Amino acid sequence: MKKKILLAIIAITFTLPVFASKEQKLEEVVLETPEIEAPQALSVSEQQSPAEEKSLKEKLQDVYHLEVDKYDKPTYLLENVLTHKFDEDSIWDRTQLWAGYNGDIGLQFTEGGMGSEHTTNHYDINTINVGYDGYLKNNNGDFRIMFNISPYSERNVIQNLFADMYIATNKIPHHRILVGHSRPPVGMEGAYGPFVLPFLARAQISRNFGTVRKLGARISGDYSLLGYDFGVYSSDTYFQEFFPGAEFIGRVDLKPLGKTDGKYGKLLIGGSMDAGHRDNNFCVVGAHIQYEYKRFMANFEWAQANGYNGPLGRSVDTHASGFYTTIGYMLTKKLQILARYDEFDPNREIANNNQREYSVGLNYFIKGQGLRLILNYVFCQNDAAKDSHRIMLGTQILI
């Protein structure tokens, strides 16, 4: 009975219009990863011939039995259902339709009592994405068309609707060349997609300086000891202006343990820069470090801005800075506990205006990132405003 109920829930979920909007051992869990990367090799189920194609009922049963031990990439529950595979004589390998939701029911209260007043910095959380991906044979190239269905009052429908729109090639070994609209690597966490974040909200420097998509061309490289991503973009954001200026965004990562096969864990040490012109010159520099070993992870990121061009627009005359550090541990195969300290100075020329956030969280990975429950508590300590507390219960579903 339990099995039939879950299969029915999955089938109903597949038909809901709101969602139109690999294996790795537990000891090797990676908690975060950049959003843009070369497609992976096909799984065994993806390599089946048309004669071996499973029925819809069998595919839904596979979702019921799905076990995911890898959390650094999104897991799409209905991937086998919504993926179309082409004939052998086609240049196309496959296309995939997918959708994802990430949001929360939040409760905030200040020193004066309950309230909905936003005493924190950009803490709105609601992501509804719908995407269509296509892949050429032999991993030669791919494209993505993705729409953001989430409403946003400060931008019109068209500005907010278009998200990832790009084509890319992986013909050069260890490299990926991408042209179009994508999320560039402004910092470490600022480059991550919403469906692999450890907490519901990003750190404050990521919310202000990064996590914004831009139109341009970029090249990234991935070697055992080194990774990099360099790109030139229009300094416009969300299609609000026609090329107001040029912007360079680059990131370099060193991997000192890259040739040890994970025996001593995985260590990433890197830095990034975002510099350009939009009404005036701006520049953001940052540094980060991340370490993972078996069930444990820890990271640290710092950034300083002499003007910035972030998701809420430009702030060309603001000298801001901040840092955060996160630790996490997998208590079981599915349950993760997290803690974070996050400090942000929105203007270094003004005294006593720092914003500090103390966060703890639990992630329960029912089906990896494909079906995840999230509980976050944040104490927001503000020098220039009332202190506040936030309790957030979130859900993430990828189909």
> What is the spatial distance between Cα 206 and Cα 38, in angstroms, rounded to a whole number?
24
Mean pLDDT of the 153-165 span: 82
Give the whole-number percent of the chain exceeding pLDDT 90.
63
Question: Per-residue pLDDT tens for 213-256?
Answer: 999 999 999 999 999 999 999 999 888 888 999 999 999 999 99
Non-local (6+) Cβ contacts of 76 within 8 A are 82, 96, 98, 370, 398, 399
Tokens of 333: 């195969």
Sign of CA dihedral 9, 12, 14, 16: negative
Q: How many CB atoms lie within 10 A of CB 28?
A: 17
Cα Rg, the chain, nearest whole Å: 21
Q: What's residue 131's pLDDT?
A: 97
Q: What's residue 106's pLDDT?
A: 72
Beta bridge partners of 388: 110, 380
Q: How many CB atoms lie within 10 A of CB 386?
A: 13
Mean pLDDT of the 34-49 span: 42
Q: What's residue 375's pLDDT?
A: 96
Q: What's residue 40's pLDDT?
A: 44
Q: What's residue 125's pLDDT?
A: 72
Q: What's residue 18's pLDDT?
A: 36
> What is the spatial distance between Cα 177 and Cα 73, in angstroms, rounded to a whole number?
20
Tokens of 100: 């994802």
Assess contact for 271 and 288: CB atoms under 8 A: yes
Q: What's residue 174's pLDDT?
A: 96
Average pLDDT, the chain: 84
Higher pLDDT pick, 142 / 151: 142
**Alpha helix ranges (H) inside the chain:** 2-15, 56-65, 79-82, 157-161, 204-209
Q: How many CB atoms lie within 10 A of CB 87?
A: 7
Question: Per-residue pLDDT tens for 57-107?
Answer: 788 888 878 888 888 889 999 999 999 999 999 999 999 999 999 988 877
